[in-house]
Structure 1
Amino acid sequence: MRRFLLTGIFITVLLLPSIGYATTVTWKAQTTPTAAELFAVYAINGSKALAVGNNTLAKTINRVTWTDTSPSSIYTYNSAFVVSSDAYVVGTDASNGVIIYSTNEGNSWSGASAVVGSASFTDLFFIGTYGWVINTSSPRVYKTVDSGDNWLAAATGLANIPYNAVYFTSTSEGWVAGNGGNIYKTTNGGGSWTVQTSGTANNLNDIFFMDANTGWAVGDTGTILKTTDGGTTWATQTSGTVNNLNSVSFGTASVGWTVGDSGTIIKSSDGGSSWAAQASGTVANLNGVSFIDAYNGWTVGNNVILRHYTATISSVTRTHPAAGEVTWESQGALRAITINGANFQTGAAVTFEGSTISTLYASVESSAKITATIWVPLAETVGLKNLKMTNTDTSTDTLSNGFEIRAAGTSPTFTTWEVGYTSSDASVAIYDLPTRITVEVEDTGGLTRGSIKFVAYLSSAGSYAPEYYYLFSGDTIGFETLATNGATITKARATATLRYFYKSGESTGTKYYIQDLINGKAKARPLYFYVENSATYPSYLLYDSEVYYDSTKIPPGATVVSTPLLPEAAVSNVISTANPAFTLQIEVDAATAASVTTDGAILLFSGANGIVANHNVVFRRVNSGLTASGIRASAAGNEIVKVTTTIGNVASGIYKVNLMTADRKTRFGTGKVVVQPWR
């Protein structure tokens, strides 16, 4: 790439690019840390880069914010290179060429090493511990084999002219390009050089190789050259501009950019066979460009840094249990989808343009993958849909006709269903937590445990769209065969246990428990659910009964123990807000005592606003010594067990205590506890 010296006067004539811009703006200006002219940029990865120029060594670690990490000395820095975590920058101190070094990718720098007798180092290249720099005076090339600890002249056979760029594809094979169209090649690591015929007399400002055969050189008056045989022959390519081109970089063998004077940016998507201009948004001279792939790169120039960041969606799929990954969905489905592409940012949003499909949840798993849960209403029109991804920096991409919506299936069909212990159309009270949802489903096409997916959700007022939802699949669903046709299961009962919901649109994974959402009849909501068969067309069921949680009712078939909960002492049911530890005991038969001291029990504390604490606790036997402590002994054949637990950080007030065995088959009597303000 073309470099600059501290001495001399340069007059730049700004010429606007002479070709039209066929693409939308893909470059975004970034704030430079200084007002200096920048001569080169090196992209380390998609987030990190170095930019160098007049007394400026700038670095970004988040692809947005740049910080100047220059030493205090005044230098002109012409080029940068990073090997692993080692960074090198070359330039001049106005008397000699200088090389500075960093062991942490440019966060801090060692003192400069001036090479006496050199004028200015204009470019460098490293492969492992081997490195080369080019000099504006003789000797024209210096080489190191020990990561820059020592530098030796290596320029036999080079004409004594200014060289602007160096590139190596191995420790033995490399090229330099310079003024007058000169290109030289070495096959012995720089020990000797052979001239190549470039076919131009224009100054060549940069050279880039994708491999040992394929490379490009760019230069003045829009010159672009390409070789496919290691430089044995060079062919001129049409750039479409007469502006000087100062730097070239390819992210892949097909996709590359060259930049130049007057804000010129030209891109090729076919290995340089054709080039198209891109809008840069600046008329400043652009001196350096660097890309790591077909999407991520920077260009720099006179007080300007531009970032190229293309967010790209390549596909949208969802898992079909029989067909694998497919690109379609059915009406009435609540579904997890996968979006594949490049340059996705944390917090990216996913929408379907011109449709009623809503995204309930989206998570950026990596820069190349987003998982999302979508809701497709029954009324959504069938056909191909456009999916749009919007990054947090407002970069977007739309996959046109990338996802298809098909008509809802007519199977499986529901025969019966239950929520909790009720299958009536009346308002349903859920008695136990967690609660169960059971459906019997028929499909002549066949049913299997692995193919059934079960979704339950609560809607917002006046809408079928999920506000809170839970998706069951695989082992989370109970499966019982009810009828078969030969080896085909045609009727089955699916059972799911509902403990909590997720909220649509949230990516935090927060759990919303039933007792908090629908505790009490005043908070009743409609419950919707559907079951899918092996064809994964949803059989959509509107459960139009309102459901709510009622902690005072006892599930059918549960055993009720009439013995009340007993405080351990007269004041044990009065605690404080500062230390709400609560101890209680119950008298039960020996079998129940064995159960609650082995399997534990469920202890619920509820107040005026619903459940305030829900504990799984284990009791312990306390028969011995009870009489001596003033608490009555158990009746014959019974035992007394007790547990100490904490309600939690609750307000003062009176709370009801409910206790049941872990299997919810035995429900004990209720008691109360008074929480006093701390004092």
Structure 2
Amino acid sequence: MAILQQLEKLYLPRQKAIKKEEVFTMKKIVLFIILAVIVSPCFAASTWTEQTNYSVGANGFHDVFFLDSSTGFVCGSGTKILKTTDGGKTWTEKLTGDAANVLSGIYFPTAQKGYAIGYVGGSGAGLFYTTNNSGETWTVGTAPGTENLQDLMFTSADEGWVCAQGLEALNNVYYTQNGGIGGTGWTAVTVAANPETISFFGTYFLDFSNGWVVGALGSIYKTSNAGTDWTRQGADVTGQQLNDIFFIDSSKGWIVGDVGTILKTTNGGIGGTGWTAIFGISNEFYLRKVHFVSASVGWAVGYQNSDTPQPLILSTTNGGDTWTEVTTTLTTYFNSVYFPDQYSGYVVGGQTSGWINAPVIYKYQTDPTVTAKSPSARYQGWSGNITLTGTNFISGITVEVTKTGGSGVTASITRDSATQVTVAAVISATATTGDWTVKVYNIDGGTATTTFTINAPPTFTSVTRYHPTYGSVSWESQGTFNRLVTVEGTNFQTGAILTFTGGVTASATSLVSSTKVTANTWVPLAETTGYKSVTITNPDAGSATLANFYEVRADSGGPTFVTYEVTGAVVESSSIKLTAFPQIKVTLEDTTGLSIDTLNFSVYVPYPPAGADSYYYKFTNPTFTVLSTGSRVTKAQVTGYLKTFKNFADPTIAEVPIDGILTASSPKAMYFYAEDDGSTPSSTLYSSSVYFQSAGPAPISGTSNVALVGGGGTVKPGASQDIQFESKKDLTGKVVKIIYGGMNGFMANHDVPVRKVGGVFARAVEAASGTYIYKVEAKATDLFNHGLAVGIYRIAGFVDGEMLFNTKYVVIP
């Protein structure tokens, strides 16, 4: 009975006498947790640390409350109230009084207005204190009743509730609507009808009208009308003393008490199953306080009433369904717990074994983290903001930007939120280049680091392109397309971009070295002549400009488009429809000479604005047919198949089939472009409105989409010629029966294996229309393998009795 007697003498908050029959012995469960790092969704790289930066003598702490991650309060015996404004790094005493008196609870409904309650040592009469200046000074007020006040909860600056451990036949619950001022500041309410006398140790209110009180004999009472009526909840769940209650919202709540009691509700405690007991908690655990930071993560504290009593901390990460014990080397029993956020929390205690007063403040701390930064690099002479994204940035955070042996950087920091800070940096023009360390300091001592790179800005000396006659020049003609230019200077970076004034566009910038980059340019036909300024910009925003350096000259000379022809084109009223991947045949004329070796023949589709998301296709192996006479080629026909387009802004990405660019819903202008000496380009507008719409699959019979490959449609007796045709069917491994017919009737019957055509064009056709391209070898021989006589024949091919093609076949001498 020694423990019981000392408890009664000390009037410990939320603690009733422990009867011998209530103490259940069992093997102590030791759950080993490495305190240095607790791995959970919220508690990565976190530590528990005892704080010793205060002096209160032999006075224990009974409650803790924080306004935010920086400012908080503890209260306890000796009428003590301590305050911190730096996350527990330092504590300052704000109230002290009679050594026998105990402050058992503290609460701040606003940043300025706060309340503390307790009791007078020996008599058990209540104590009540108020502050209106954020706890800097405290004023004693009139306590309700004559009871030992245990817990409080305020829902506004002036409206609140307290509950008490009864020494008389009272129900021990009071409320105020004026902050407890004056003799009429408190109103007693009847929770349960007399003669039942219940001590209440915990209270929680969602608002002034809706709340709960919990206490002795498993008592849980709820009111929905500001205490006029009370309904008992969970009457059959437990008969143990209940010491505290906490709700994260109107539905989810938890209660803790003696003999391993933890209760949970997900419906506000309504109904016979509104509160459920959590099993697996040791009967030796006596829990005094519970606090949750989310619907999943919470903490409960108290002590373990074993042969050698020990302090107790339990944590949960699944809404209180299971709990884990956090072991500690401390010996002081814990009375209260409070987490201002998911990254930091405080546990306070007041007695050691034998119930000897011994204060303790135990802090849970998660260091801040930096998970992202923007920008990550800038250049000498830059000033601006660096945004750091991460976790656990608390009020009062500071920053330090350093580099060993470095100079030229100053910085300040602004906390935007717990997950973002802004570092205002000023980098001098002579600042040391390289990686700098950016270190942020929380006021509670937690730190996080990242790096920031300072580069030398680029310098710009020239922009040139190659001219076959004049060599390196810094001018271009109107209408030039896909021209390679070279930029020279210093401090260029991968990802640098080149821009021109006016409508000149550069793309595909490539870093050759830190002193050289290359890019492709396009000068629109309508671009104004004159000098253009050129700017190169690195990814770190460092840039250099050559003002009025690159000249655009008028278009002159160059090849002339005489005629052009596009297969599969249907001329409509205001547009041109391409029904198949076209063959483009142009006739060019240039009195200065044409050569297949220097001719650049392309098709391009400019999107407005000029140069943005433009597409082109450069024919790499066009057919070149000379049409002029004499030693100098002045007129020629150039033929190529248009299959796909390249993206001008990024030619490295995959080519796009033409029907992905020229669509019926969005027809585009299409140009033909030619230059024959690298300096005098020409272009002609094929149409301002071109789109692609397939004519459909190749017919089973007839002559559409059938071509004789090689020989121009003629063959000599006994020789072979490939027949190319299209089909929607997969003919892989099939044999085609080729039948020849002439003036004398049936001439031959050959079984020939079919060959599927590969290559970019065939794959593009297959992807666009699901049509395959095949070839078969047609040999000009009769049934006896003799060469066919000279003449015109009809040739047809069949697979499984179905005709695949039917075309003309000419045998020549």
Q: Aligned to 1:244, what secondary structure does the other structure show? A: strand
**Aligned position for 1:92:** 119
Q: Aligned to 1:83, what secondary structure does the other structure show? A: coil
1:313 aligns with 2:341: no
Cα distance, 1:271–1:76 mapped onto 2, change above 3 Å = same
1:229 aligns with 2:282: no
Offset at 1:175?
A: 0.7
Cα distance, 1:414–1:46 mapped onto 2, change above 3 Å = same
1:120 aligns with 2:120: no
**Aligned position for 1:153:** 188
Offset at 1:260?
A: 1.8
How do 1:209-220 residues align onto structure 2 when only pairs under 5 Å count?
209-220=247-258
How do 1:307-456 residues align onto structure 2 when only pairs under 5 Å count?
307-313=363-369, 315-319=371-375, 337-340=386-389, 341-344=391-394, 345-349=396-400, 361-366=410-415, 368-371=420-423, 389-391=440-442, 393-397=444-448, 414-415=460-461, 445-446=498-499
**Aligned position for 2:336:** 288
Cα distance, 1:448–1:300 mapped onto 2, change above 3 Å = farther
Offset at 1:103?
A: 2.1
Q: Aligned to 2:95, what secondary structure does the other structure show? A: coil
1:68 aligns with 2:68: no
Q: 1:553-600 CA distances to partner (integer Å, 9 max, x unpaired)?
A: xxxxxxxxxxxxxxxxxxxxxxxxxxxxxxxxxxxxxxxxxxxxxxxx
Q: Distance in 1 between matches of 2:251 and 2:501?
A: 57
**Aligned position for 2:608:** none
**Aligned position for 1:252:** 294
> Is contact 2:399-2:439 (8 Å) kept?
no
| 2:55 aligned partner, one-letter code | P
**Aligned position for 2:241:** 203
Q: Distance in 2 between matches of 1:286 and 1:192?
A: 34
**Aligned position for 2:47:** 26
Offset at 1:225?
A: 1.9
> Is contact 1:256-1:294 (8 Å) kept?
no
How do 1:262-661 residues align onto structure 2 when only pairs under 5 Å count?
262-278=310-326, 280-302=328-350, 303-313=359-369, 315-319=371-375, 337-340=386-389, 341-344=391-394, 345-349=396-400, 361-366=410-415, 368-371=420-423, 389-391=440-442, 393-397=444-448, 414-415=460-461, 445-446=498-499, 485-486=523-524, 492=533, 532-533=537-538, 535-536=539-540
Q: Distance in 2 between matches of 1:255 and 1:351?
A: 37
Q: Distance in 2 between matches of 1:166 and 1:105?
A: 23
Q: Distance in 2 between matches of 1:379 and 1:334?
A: 14
> Is contact 1:53-1:77 (8 Å) kept?
yes
**Aligned position for 2:647:** none
Q: Aligned to 2:108, what secondary structure does the other structure show? A: strand
Q: 1:627-679 CA distances to partner (integer Å, 9 max, x unpaired)?
A: xxxxxxxxxxxxxxxxxxxxxxxxxxxxxxxxxxxxxxxxxxxxxxxxxxxxx
TM-score, normalised to structure 1's length?
0.53
Offset at 1:37?
A: 1.3
Q: Which of 148, 155, 171 is matched with 1:139 structurally?
A: 171
Cα distance, 1:47–1:78 mapped onto 2, change above 3 Å = same
Cα distance, 1:404–1:272 mapped onto 2, change above 3 Å = farther
Q: Distance in 2 between matches of 1:490 and 1:248?
A: 75
Q: Between Structure 1 and Structure 2, how many residues are aligned?
A: 429
Q: Which of 87, 101, 104 is matched with 1:78 structurally?
A: 104
> Is contact 1:333-1:538 (8 Å) kept?
no
| 1:49 aligned partner, one-letter code | G
Offset at 1:281?
A: 4.9
Offset at 1:130?
A: 1.9
Q: 1:226-249 CA distances to partner (integer Å, 9 max, x unpaired)?
A: 211011212334676542221111
Q: Aligned to 2:398, what secondary structure does the other structure show? A: coil
Offset at 1:217?
A: 1.0
Q: Which has the higher contact order (CA 8 A, sep 6+)?
A: 1
Q: Distance in 2 between matches of 1:448 and 1:204?
A: 77
Q: 1:469-502 CA distances to partner (integer Å, 9 max, x unpaired)?
A: xxxxxxxxxxxxxx984489997467xxxxxxxx
Q: Distance in 2 between matches of 1:446 and 1:188?
A: 71
Q: Distance in 2 between matches of 1:278 and 1:356?
A: 44
Q: 1:318-374 CA distances to partner (integer Å, 9 max, x unpaired)?
A: 14xxxxxxxx6699998963212323554344789xx99999555331264142769
**Aligned position for 1:510:** none
| 2:346 aligned partner, one-letter code | W
> Is contact 2:498-2:534 (8 Å) kept?
no
Q: Aligned to 2:249, what secondary structure does the other structure show? A: coil
Cα distance, 1:393–1:490 mapped onto 2, change above 3 Å = farther
> Is contact 1:416-1:439 (8 Å) kept?
no
Q: Distance in 2 between matches of 1:55 and 1:191?
A: 36
1:102 aligns with 2:152: no
Offset at 1:305?
A: 1.2
Q: Aligned to 1:180, what secondary structure does the other structure show? A: helix
Offset at 1:90?
A: 1.4
Cα distance, 1:211–1:115 mapped onto 2, change above 3 Å = same
Cα distance, 1:359–1:309 mapped onto 2, change above 3 Å = farther
Cα distance, 1:185–1:115 mapped onto 2, change above 3 Å = closer
Q: Aligned to 2:285, what secondary structure does the other structure show? A: coil
Q: Aligned to 2:217, what secondary structure does the other structure show? A: helix
| 1:236 aligned partner, one-letter code | A
Q: Distance in 2 between matches of 1:313 and 1:66?
A: 26
Cα distance, 1:8–1:60 mapped onto 2, change above 3 Å = closer
Q: Distance in 2 between matches of 1:256 and 1:42?
A: 16
| 1:203 aligned partner, one-letter code | Q
Q: Distance in 2 between matches of 1:378 and 1:146?
A: 63
> Is contact 1:52-1:79 (8 Å) kept?
yes
| 1:111 aligned partner, one-letter code | V
Q: Which runs of 5+ in 1 are unaligned?
A: 320-327, 418-437, 450-482, 495-530, 542-679
> Is contact 1:310-1:343 (8 Å) kept?
no
Q: Aligned to 2:366, what secondary structure does the other structure show? A: coil
Q: 1:367-413 CA distances to partner (integer Å, 9 max, x unpaired)?
A: 64142769999998xxxx999755465423478xxx999xx99x988
Q: Distance in 2 between matches of 1:359 and 1:235?
A: 63
> Is contact 2:499-2:534 (8 Å) kept?
no
| 1:235 aligned partner, one-letter code | T
Q: Distance in 2 between matches of 1:351 and 1:141?
A: 58
Bigger radius of gyration among the two: 2
Query: Aligned-residue CA RMSD in angstroms?
Result: 4.8
Q: 1:591-640 CA distances to partner (integer Å, 9 max, x unpaired)?
A: xxxxxxxxxxxxxxxxxxxxxxxxxxxxxxxxxxxxxxxxxxxxxxxxxx
Offset at 1:172?
A: 1.1
Q: Distance in 2 between matches of 1:537 and 1:439?
A: 15
> Is contact 2:349-2:361 (8 Å) kept?
yes
Offset at 1:186?
A: 1.1
Q: Which runs of 5+ in 2 are unaligned?
A: 1-5, 37-45, 304-309, 351-358, 464-488, 503-520, 546-813
| 2:95 aligned partner, one-letter code | S
Q: Distance in 2 between matches of 1:447 and 1:274?
A: 65
**Aligned position for 2:556:** none
> Is contact 2:312-2:334 (8 Å) kept?
yes
